[in-house]
Structure 1
Amino acid sequence: MEQDKDRLLELLAECAAKMLAASDPRRMIDYLFDRVREELRIDVYFHYLVDGDSALRLEGSGGLTPAQIELGQRLAFGQAVCGVVARDRVPCLAENVLASSDPMTEFIRAVGLDSYACTPLIHGETLIGTLGFGRRAPEPFSAAELQFLRTICSYVGVARNRLDVQAEMMATIQAHETLAAEQAGLIERLMIQSAGADLTMIAHEIAQPLSAASNYIVVVQRALEGVRGTAGLAELSHARAEIDRCSQIVVRMRRLLQSGEINAEFADVRLLLEDALRMVVAGRPEAESIVAVHVDAGVGDILGDRIQLVQVVANLLRNAIQAAPADNAPHVTMRARAAGDWIEISIEDNGPGFSSEALPQPGVSTTGGSGVGLSVVKRILAAHDSDVHLGRAVGGGACISFRLLRRDAFAGDESVGERALVRPD
């Protein structure tokens, strides 16, 4: 017995080292199966990955016929042994399966297994999938063998997460580089075809999400040293979203500048404000602690170009944060309230306020910036049949607001969200 345990420990160390150095997820599991199948007398393995909110997709298997593989391609959470393990997130051992009539073991019984040990693959709080090993011979797994398999599965979870993070990281960096090349080409064409003011406007708007994406990528690059896992994937997801936003901004800004058209769609006001805040926080982390979001109950959706309206709010929010007193309890509030057929969105700060009731002239900034941001805001809002209004915030400071059409104003005409709104020059 001691010899068996020593051998399993040696095998564990060997497999763990291979898992943590692997570069291909499928080959990693295939290697594991080939390495332990004779040692532990294993005939079959099933490797599932989470697919959606409540399903598993067969990622890899061994010891099965093509028909058996097809039979187990997809499982719902709670279906069969692997589905139950995914749902409950706890290991499961099924024994004497061939003599059982339990519906849960029907699938592995059809494969001819008599003993089956399945373990959830978890990293942090995230369920990655499941990994199960089965025997056709009527020989149950020993306690030492079960411990070995479950320990190996924990290494597989760590290794799989590392590979997922690295793959997403490389895809994000590649997308970032591709966009940078496209941006360079676009600017070159615009320098020939467009007025300088239009070029400056587009470059200004592209710079914001690109900066946010770069910041997210830097965070993940540092985090990969400790393999942060779930947090790293979340940062990469934000980076990919900002890069995608850049591409959409280029297309939509050119359309707006050339024809005055916007892409009209129904958009949730709260999500719009939170999206803008997230983009600002990526470049100014301190904003998260000084910005509050208040959306009145029942406000609902607005009609407009969501991508461009996020830019509007982000520009105004960034200005408000710059105007708030950095050394004296800075505070900024974004609000949304219903006003008839319109929704009023306002951004208030506790800074010195505006010196006049008029917006600064294009190219003039009151916050130390380029002055382009407010020009972009006015251009986009004009295309939405809206404009910026200046006022005083409660308790002092500035309040800048604008109105957008409510979804309720189009009751019975849902198709309006799919049409482009055209504004005259």
Structure 2
Amino acid sequence: MPDKPSRGRTLNQYLDPYPYFGRLREVGRVVRIQTAFAGEGWLITRHEDAQRLAGDPRLSVEDRHAGPELRCRLDRFKFRFADCLPETMLVMDPPEHTRLRRMVAREFTPRRVAALAPYIEETVRKLLAPLPPDGTADLVSVLAEPLPTMVICRLLGLSEQDAARLGPFVSVLTELPVDPEVAARVEKARDAVWTYLSRMIEEKRHKPDDGLLSALISAHDDEGRLTDTELTSMAGVLFAGGAETTTQMIGSGLLLLLRHPRQLARLVESPDLIPSAVDELLRFESPVTLGLIRYAAEDITLADVTIPRGDLVFVGVSSANHDPRRFPEPDRLDVARRDNPHLAFGHGPHYCLGAPLARLELQTVLSTLLQRHPHLELACHPAEVPWRPSALRGPASLPVRLGPRDAADR
């Protein structure tokens, strides 16, 4: 049977926000919420609506549809994705989105992802090698942070030295710009990554290799090649998304298993459950907590509520993933759950292109880590685990005991 939620000290709302989302789902299918960086917006709370509206053309990713008041709030902290990542499919609707996605998908293939499997396994083993059989370690700094950056750099055709130089900027890119100081820090990190990737693209033009970045440089379709801005933005999206989102996914997934030791033991005993466990961990703890950011391009009526044109809308991923109307006992972790159409990777035209790579990384982490350290357990109470001040959900550190408690105490 799946574990019940953790007992003991009360978990704070950031560690366990799902009762809050549960209350919102009962209030309505769409509810008005307050955000730290953009004022008021709307949250789509239920799975059926979230799945449908994630691909609804009336909800745009382009912030040109933001109303005047919302635009003023976003500009106050320079929190405009189109400024951070111009001319990339993350901030484009069809048909431009369709063109860019088609060109990237042509090169970011399942075969390219599968070819990374030996490197991912080798890297996980290398990162874990210095750890003793027992004792303690921080799995975020040891594993969850370095691995995704190294993997995405390998995919792009960048070196491990490039990964070391770019790594410090990754977590900064997703900090919430709740004040001008944070906004300035995010902008500085964005500029540093942009400059670095621009230089790498120029080098790849003269000395191409078999990496994805070189493939995108030479990619073309009936509408021509990617522009320099499109190339740099796309590299930035792949780097930031592939690194930071996967870091949070690994950290949150491991913490979730450590909070549910019986489920962790099931994976140790039955490694064949790891693929289904990965999707269950993503369902339960999506890196995108609040939701996918959209702007109402026109008035939208849902149930008896009308979302006015120009308003901010969050397609509530985490709330939808815990909707009991779609998932039986949604607040119980079950690593063997089969019928699991979670929305952690989005849905519709903007479904995450990197989903197969993210799954592969988490599967490799679980299989390798649990084989080496089958008695893994938290070294602190779950409520004491610090969380990142980020737009993405994940622990800032994850202290664990690597072996049985009696071995660690010797």
TM range (shorter): under 0.3
TM-score, normalization by structure 2? 0.25
Greater strand share, structure number: 1
- Over alpha carbons, which structure has the higher Rg? 1
TM-score, normalization by structure 1? 0.24
